[in-house]
Structure 1
Amino acid sequence: MATGAGGQRVRRSPGPPTAVAGGLRRPEAGRYLSARTGGRVSATAVAEASKAPPALSRRQTNVVFATIVLGMLMAALDQTIVSTALPTIVAELGGGGHMAWVVTAYLLAETVATVLVGKFGDLFGRKIVFQVSAVVFIAGSVVSGAANGMMLLIVGRAIQGIGGGGLMVTAMALIADVIPLRERGKYQGALGAVFGVTTVVGPTLGGLFTDHASWRWCFYVNVPIAIVMVVMAARTIPAVRAAVRPVIDYAGIVLIALGASGLVLGLEWGGNEYAWGSPVIIGLFVGSVLLLAGFVLVEFRAKEPMLPMHLFRNSVFTVCSILSFIVGFAMLGAMTYLPTYLQFVDGVSATMSGVRTLPMVVGLLGTSMLSGVVVSRTGKYRIFPILGTGVMAVGLWLMSTMGPGTGVWLESLYMFVLGLGIGLAMQVLTIAVQNTVPYHELGTATSGVTFFRTLGSSFGTAVFGTLFSSRLTPNLTDAAAQQPSVPPAAVQSPAGLHALPAEQAAPFVNAYAETVNYVFQWVVPVALVGFLIAWFLKEVPLRDSARAGAGDLGEGFGAPDSADADRQLERVLSNLMRRTKGRSGVKEQILADSGSDLTPGQAWALGQVYWRGRYAGGADVGAIAAAHHVPGEVLEPAFEKVVHTGHLAERDGRLSLTPAGQAEVDRIGEAWRHWLGHHLDDWDVTDPDDRARLDRAIDTIAARLYEEEQERAAV
C-alpha cells in the first residue's frame, strides 16, 4: 500500500492514479487532511471508520456483489416482466379495465418504498432491511402467482413493489457499505447497468415464461432465487448500521403516496369504470390535489424533507424533473403496451413479442452509452434532451401509423427510433442535476429526479391503459357487428383471435391495431411538450466530478439510490478517482505546486510514516514493507535517505516525522486541497455547508481507507 502525504493510502490493486503528492499513485480524499487539520484525523472520522465492516477479500467481495445483484435483478425485472404476459393474464383472469394496475401498483409501491426503506436501512441496518425486503418480495410473488382474480393480482403486485423498492435502494447502499472506496464507482456503475438492462429485457423473459410454462412463473421464479439470496445475505453481508439516527419525513411520504395514487386511480377509472364527470372521479382528482398541496406545505416545514421545495428554484432541477417524468411516461407506457399490439395484431407469441421489442432496447442502450461518452469528453449535455425528446415524438408518431399491413422490419425501425429518442434524453438528466446543486444536496436532488421518472412511469402506464381501454370496447363492438358469428370470448386472447379464420379475425385485428395507434397518437403531444421544455435547460459547464459519472450506463437509468448526501459525495469522489486513472503528470504537478523540494519517493515515505504515526502510534520499515508485500531491505534505503535529510527521525527502529517533515506533509496536503477544489469546482466558494460536508467526508473516507488497508494487509 502506498500512502500519500496528507494521508491517503493506496492499495496495490488497480485504482485511479493521482498526483504523487507524497509519492502516491492514486488520488483519494485522505490526502487533504493535513491541510485542514494540521495532519490530524478527527475523532469522528476514526469512530466512523471503526464502524466500517471488515475488509473483504476479492472472492468475498464478488460473492457479496453477486448477492446484491440478485436483489437488484429481481426487483428491476418485475417492473416490466409482466408486460408480455398481460394479454394472457387478462384472458384468464378477466378485468381488462384494470390491466394497467398490474404494472402501476408495483411502480407506485416501489416509489414509496425506496424513500422509506432507505431511512429504515440507516435506522436498523441495511443487511436486515435487505433480507426483510426479500421476504416481502417473496410474499408478493407468491400472492401474485397464485392470484385467481385481477384484484388479488394487483394486491400481490403492490406487495412485490414494496419489497422490490427495498431491494433496489438497499442494494445501492450496501455497495457503499462493503465495497472499498477505490472500487466502489466500478461496482455501482455495474449495478446501475444491471438495473437498466434487466428493466428493458424483462418483456422477453416474461414472454418465455408465458409461452413455455405459465404467466404465473413470471412471479414464482422469484421465490427460489430470493430464498437463495436471503441465505447468501445472511452468510456473506456484514452488518453495518448508521451512527446517526435518521429523521424520516413520514407525513410527506404518506401525502405524496396518497396524492399520486389518487391521481393514477382517477386516470385509470375515468371513462372506463366511471364517467369523467362522475362524483367519484371528480372526488379523486380534488382529493389528490389537496393531498399534494398538503405535501408541498409539509415539505416547507419538515426538518429533513423528502423533496425540498427550494430545489425547484433551480431551473435545471425543475426542467430535468419534468423531462425525467416524460421519459418515464413514454418508456414504461410503450414497453407495457407494445407487446399487446404485437400479440393481437401481428399474431406473434408472448416470447416473440418480447423479442420484437428489442430494436427499441438496442436504440435506447446505444444512445444512452453514446451520449454518456460524448458528455464525458466534451462537457456539453443540453443538446441531448432536445434531440431525444424530438426523436421520441417522431418515434411515437411513426408507431401510431402501424397496422396489420406494416412489415416486421418497418415496425422494428419505428421502435428503434423511439428507443434512440429515449436513450438520448434519459442519460444526461441525472448528470445535469448533480452538476448544478450544492454538494450537500446531491443525494436529495439525485433521488428527486429518479422519483419523478418512476412517477412518470406510473402515470404513463395508467394513461396508456385508460386510452387503450376507453377505445378498445367501442372498436371491438364495431368489429363484432361486422362478424356477429364470432363469440366475444374468442377475441379476448391473442391465441383465440388468431385461431379464427382470417376473414373473421380481420375486423378484430384492425380494432386492436386502431386502439394501440390511438394510444400512441395521444402520447405524441406529451413528447412534444418535453421537446419544448428541453429548450429551457441551461448549459452549465460540467464539474469534473459530474463528467466522471457521465459515461456510466447506470447513471442514465438512475436506479433508486440513497438520498444521503455523504454517500453521494463519496460516490462523486470515487468517480473522480476513476476518471483521473492514467492521467499523466498529475502527481508531479501537485508535488511541484506544493513548492516542496522532495522527490516523489521521499514524499511517499513521509506519507507512510504520517499515517502509521496517527493510527498505529508509530511506524517501522518492516510493517510498511509487509503491507506492500515486499522485503524490508528493498524499502530501507529510501527511508534512510529521508532520515538523512532531516524529515524523519529514527529511534529504536521506530520512525516519526520531524517538524520539517510535518511541514512538508502539510505543504503537500495543501496542494492536494487545491487540486480537489479545482476538480470539485465551486465546492469551497459557494456554500459553507458544502465545505463542512466535504471536510467530514474527507476525514471519514481517509480513516476508512486506512482501516480497509490494514485489515487487507492482515489477511
Structure 2
Amino acid sequence: MSTTSNSEAQSGPAHRIWRFWLIFLALCVSLFLTALDLASVGTALPSIVYDLNGTDSFVWVSSAYTLACTAVLPTSGQLADLFGRRAVLLVAILLFCAGSAVAGAAGSMAMLIAGRTVQGVGSGAIQVLVAIVIADLIPLKDRGFFQALTGAGVIDSRCADLNLPLCGIAFGIVFLFLRLRKPPVQSYVASVKSMDWIGNVIIIGSATSCIIALTWAGVSFPWSSAQVLAPLIVGIAGLALALLYDAFVAPFPVIPVAIIKNRTSIAGYVGSFFHYLVLNSVVFYLPAYFQSSKLAPPLLSGLYLLPTALCISPSATLQGIIVSRTGKYRLIVSPRIKHSIAGRHRSWAAMLVGMGLMTLLDADSPIAVTIPIQIIAGVGFGLVYATIFTVMAPLEPVHNASALSFLLFVRTLSSAWAIPISATILQNALRTRLPAAFLATIPAGHDLAYSAIPAIPALPEPLQREVRDAFAASFRLVWRVMLGLCGVGLLSVALQDHVPLHTKMDERWGLEEETHAEVGAARSEGEMCDKEGLQDLPNSTNADA
C-alpha cells in the first residue's frame, strides 16, 4: 500500500482542527526546552567554572552537550519510525529533565559534564521528534509557516533551574495531547532487531571522534598534532563508511540511500552545512569584536549583536509564510532575475554582502555602521533556512524521519566545526599581529583571544591602540574566511533543480481517531491544493518558479 496520501493535506491554519493545535502546542513547549541554551550557558559558565574549580575542563561543559546531541540525531529518527513518535519524545523529555537535575545539583565538573551529556541526548531527540511530527501532520507545501514558528531561533537552552519545571509542563502536555496514529506495531524484539545497530555505532563513534578532535584543536593541542588529526581523520572516514554501509549493506539503514542520492537534496544538505557554520561563527565572535576593538563591556556587546539576532527570526518567519503561500521555495533560495547573478540567489547574496561588509570593519568603525551590516547579514541568515525545502521536496514522505534527522545531524555537526575553525584563524592571526610586549603577559596554553580581551581596557596608550587594531585585523581575516564559505554555499544552489512542493502525506502517521467529516474536509482541501499547485507549475520541472 502506498505510504503517501493527500487525505490530511489541510491547506491552511484556519482549517485545522482543535486537536492539531493542541499537538502543535505540545511540540512548541517541548522545543522551548531547547530554546534558552546558548545565552544561558554563556552567561553562567564563568561563575560555574569558578565555583567548581574547573578551569582545565570547562570546554567540555559545552562540548559534551554538543557531542551527545549530534550523535543521537540519526538514531532518533529510526527510533521514531520503529517505536512511535510519542513514546520516543516522552523518553527524550525525561532524559533532558534527568540531565538538567544532575547538572543543577552538580558539585564537581565531572558531575556537571555528565549531566550536560544526558541533556544533550534528550535535546537532540526532542529536536528531531518535533520536526518529524510537524512533517507527519503538515504537507510540505504548507509547512513553511509552522516550520518558521518552531525553527527560526538561534538560541537554545542550558539553564538547569528553568529546565526542571519546563520539563514537567512539556511532559504533561505531550502525554495528554500528542495522540497520533501509527503503523501496526511489531513486537519490541522485532523492533530492536530492525535497528541499524552497526550503522548507528559507526555514526555515533565517528561523530564523537570528530567533536573530540574539534574540542582539542587549537586549545589543548595544535591542529597539526596527532592528537587532533588522528581522531578527526578517523571520524570523517567513519562517517563516509557509515554512508557506504547504509547504502549497500544495511537491511534497515539509519540513513537510507534515497535521501542522499538526489542531487537537489544533497545540495540542500551542503547549503545547510555552510549556512550553520557561518551563522554560528558570526553569532559567537561578533561580540568578541565589540569587546576587543570597541572596548564594549560584555553586556553591551551582547546588545550590539541584537541587529543580527532580531533579523534572523523575522526573515526566517517571512520565508516560511512566502513558501506556504506560493509553494515556491526558490523564490527565497534562488529566484532568477535577468542579467543579475546576485538576484538569482538573493538569500545567499544577502549573506555574502553582509559578510563582505564585515571584512571592512576596523577599530574606528562606528557602532552605527555595524547595524545595517548586521541587518543585511541577519536577513540572509534567516532566509537561507529555506534549504529545508530543498532537501525535502524531492523525497517521498515515507523518508521524512530519516531525512529530517540527517539534516539536523548535518546542521549540528556544522555548528561543532564553526567555533574551532574560527578560533584557530583568530589565534594564528593574533600571534602575528599583537605586540610582543603584550603577548608576553598571556600565560602559555591559554586561549589567546579570551585571555587578552579583559585586559585591553586597562592598557596604556599607545599599546591599547595597537592591541585593538590587531584584534580588528584578525577578525577581518575570520570574516574573509566566512565570506569564502558563503561563496561555497552559494555554489551549492547551482546543483539544485526546482522540485514543486507536494501535498502528499505519510498515511501511516497522523491525528489519532479522525472523524469521517474531518478526513473528508482535509481530503477536499488537499485535492484543491494539488490543483492549485498544478496550475502554478512551469512547463519544465527544472525551470525556476
Structure 2-normalised TM-score? 0.74
Kindly indicate whether residue 151 of structure 2 is the aligned counterpart of residue 196 of structure 1: yes
CA distance in 2, matches of 1:69, 1:444: 21
CA 1:309–1:68: 2 relative to 1, 3 Å: closer
Q: Quote the residue 2:242 is aligned against.
A: 295
Matching of residues 647-666 of structure 1 within 5 Å: none
- Pairing 1:455–2:406 present: no
Residues 1:159 and 2:118 are matched in the alignment: yes
Q: Which residue in the other structure is 1:209 paired with?
A: none
Write the distance in 2 (CA, Å) between the matches of 1:509 and 1:454.
Answer: 33
* 1:89-108 pair list within 5 angstroms: 102-108=61-67
Give the equivalent residue in structure 1 for 2:280.
332
Is the Cα contact below 8 Å between 2:149 and 2:317 reproduced in 1?
Answer: no
Deviation for aligned residue 1:513 = 3.9
| C-alpha contact (below 8 Å) 1:111/1:451 kept by paired residues | yes
| Cα distance change, pair 99–470 in 1 and its aligned pair in 2 (3 A) | farther
Query: Is the alpha carbon distance of 1:144 and 1:533 closer, same or farther for their aligned partners in structure 2, counting shifts above 3 Å?
Result: same
SS in structure 2 opposite 1:303? coil
| SS of corresponding position for 2:36 | helix
Superposed counterparts of 1:522-671, under 5 Å: 522-540=481-499, 542-543=500-501, 545=503, 565-566=506-507
CA deviation digits over 1:174-219, x for unaligned, max 9? 6689xxx6x999997676444334x3355xxx9xxxxxxxxxx833
Counterpart amino acid of residue 74 in structure 2: V
Change beyond 3 A, Cα 1:529–1:153? farther
Alignment of 1:137-536 (within 5 A): 137-145=96-104, 154-172=113-131, 192-197=147-152, 199-201=153-155, 218-233=159-174, 243-245=184-186, 246=191, 247-300=194-247, 301-375=249-323, 376-377=325-326, 379=328, 380-381=330-331, 383=334, 386-427=345-386, 429-471=387-429, 478=436, 480=438, 496-497=454-455, 500=458, 503=461, 506-536=465-495
2: CA distance, partners of 1:515 / 1:149? 36
Q: 1:266, 1:330 → 2: CA distance? A: 20
Report the Cα distance in structure 2 between the residues aligned to 1:88 and 1:507, rounded to whole angstroms.
31
Spell out, residue by residue over 1:106-160, the C-alpha distance to the aligned partner (whole angstroms, 9 max, x if none): 3342233333334444555544543432232233334445667777655443322
Q: State the alpha-carbon separation in 2 of the partners of residues 480 and 677 from structure 1.
A: 66
Once the 2 structures are TM-superposed, how far is the Cα of residue 366 of structure 1 from its aligned partner? Answer: 4.0
Cα shift at 1:457 = 1.8
* 3-state SS of 1:545 partner: coil
Amino acid at match of 1:200: V
Letter in 1 for 2:34: A
Look up the match of 1:15: 15
String of CA shifts for 1:264-308, please: whole Å, max 9, x gaps.
Answer: 333443344233443323321332243223212321222232222
Q: Distance in 2 between matches of 1:230 and 1:533?
A: 40
Q: Which residue matches 1:49?
A: none
Distance 1:92 1:519 in 2: 33
Q: Which runs of 5+ in 1 are unaligned?
A: 1-5, 17-56, 207-216, 547-563, 575-607, 613-626, 628-664, 682-715
Cα contact 2:7–2:526 (8 A) shared by 1: no
Query: Residues 532 and 336 (structure 1 numbering): CA distance in 2 closer, same or farther, change over 3 Å?
Result: same
Counterpart CA distance in 1 for 2:56 and 2:533 is 51
Give the partner amino acid of 2:312: L
Contact in 2 for aligned 1:135/1:163 (Cα 8 Å): yes
The one-letter code sitting in structure 2 at the alignment partner of 1:392 is M
Q: Tell me if structure 1 keeps the 8 A contact 2:74–2:255.
A: no
1:327: Cα distance to partner?
A: 0.6
Quickly say closer, same or farther: Cα 1:537–1:83, change in 2 above 3 A. farther
- Cα distance change, pair 293–8 in 1 and its aligned pair in 2 (3 A): closer
Cα displacement string for residues 308-353 of structure 1 (whole angstroms, at most 9, x for unaligned residues): 2344332111111111111111112222223333344444454443
Across the aligned residues of Structure 1 and Structure 2, the Cα RMSD in angstroms comes to: 4.8
Q: What's 1:584 paired with?
A: none
- Take 1:304 and 1:446, find their aligned partners in 2: how far apart are those partners? 17
8 Å CA contact 1:264–1:458 kept in 2: the answer is yes
Larger Rg: 1
| Maintained 8 Å contact 2:9/2:503 | no
Shift of 1:409: 1.6
Could you tell me which runs of 5 or more consecutive residues in structure 2 were left unpaired when the two chains were aligned: 1-5, 336-343, 535-545
| CA displacement at 1:407 relative to structure 2 | 1.7
Per the alignment, in what secondary structure is the counterpart of residue 393 of structure 2? helix
CA distance in structure 1 between the aligned counterparts of 2:471 and 2:377, rounded to whole angstroms: 21
Q: Which moved more, 1:168-177 or 1:93-102?
A: 93-102
**Is the CA contact 2:255–2:402 (under 8 Å) kept in the aligned structure 1?**
yes
User: Which range moves more in the overlay, 277-286 or 343-352?
Assistant: 343-352
Contact 1:266–1:285 (CA under 8 A) maintained in structure 2:
yes
Q: Distance in 1 between matches of 2:320 and 2:8?
A: 30
CA displacement 1:54-112 (0-9 Å, x = unmatched): xxx95x87666544422211213325543455677778778889777554543342233
C-alpha contact 2:74 2:406 (8 A) present in aligned 1:
no
**Cα distance in structure 2, aligned partners of 1:293 and 1:306:** 14
Kept after mapping to 2: 8 A contact 1:326/1:456: yes
Does 522-531 or 93-102 show the bigger shift? Answer: 93-102
SS at 1:302's partner residue? coil
**Distance 1:308-1:481 versus aligned 2 partners, 3 A rule:** closer
Q: Is the 8 A contact 1:263 1:288 kept in 2?
A: yes
Deviations 1:557-612 (A, max 9, x none): xxxxxxx95468x69xx9xxxxxxxxxxxxxxxxxxxxxxxxxxxxxxxxx9xx69
Residues 71 and 431 (structure 1 numbering): CA distance in 2 closer, same or farther, change over 3 Å?
same
The 8 Å contact of residues 398 and 506 in structure 2, kept in 1 or not, is answered as: yes
Matched residue type, 1:383: S
Task: Specify the code of the residue in structure 2 equivalent to 1:463.
Answer: I
1:223-250 alpha-carbon deviations (Å, 9 max, x no partner)? 2322343355556655976533453222
Counterpart in 2 of 1:642? none
Q: Indicate the SS of the match to 1:322.
A: helix
Q: Is the 8 A contact 1:136 1:160 kept in 2?
A: yes
Q: Does the CA contact (< 8 Å) of 2:64 and 2:113 recur in 1?
A: yes
Deviation at 1:256, TM superposition (A): 2.0
Corresponding residue for 2:339? none
Aligned to 1:596: none
Q: Note closer, same or farther for the CA distance 1:67–1:253 as it changes in structure 2 (3 Å cut).
A: same
The offset of 1:166, in angstroms, is: 2.3
Q: Could you tell me how far apart the structure 1 residues matched to 2:283 and 2:231 are?
A: 27
Post-superposition offset of 1:162 = 0.7
Distance change (3 Å), C-alpha of 1:238 and 1:424: closer
Change (3 A) 1:402 1:176: closer
CA distance 1:81–1:289, change in 2 (3 Å): same
Q: Distance in 1 between matches of 2:359 and 2:57?
A: 23
In 1, Cα distance between equivalents of 2:432 and 2:7: 73
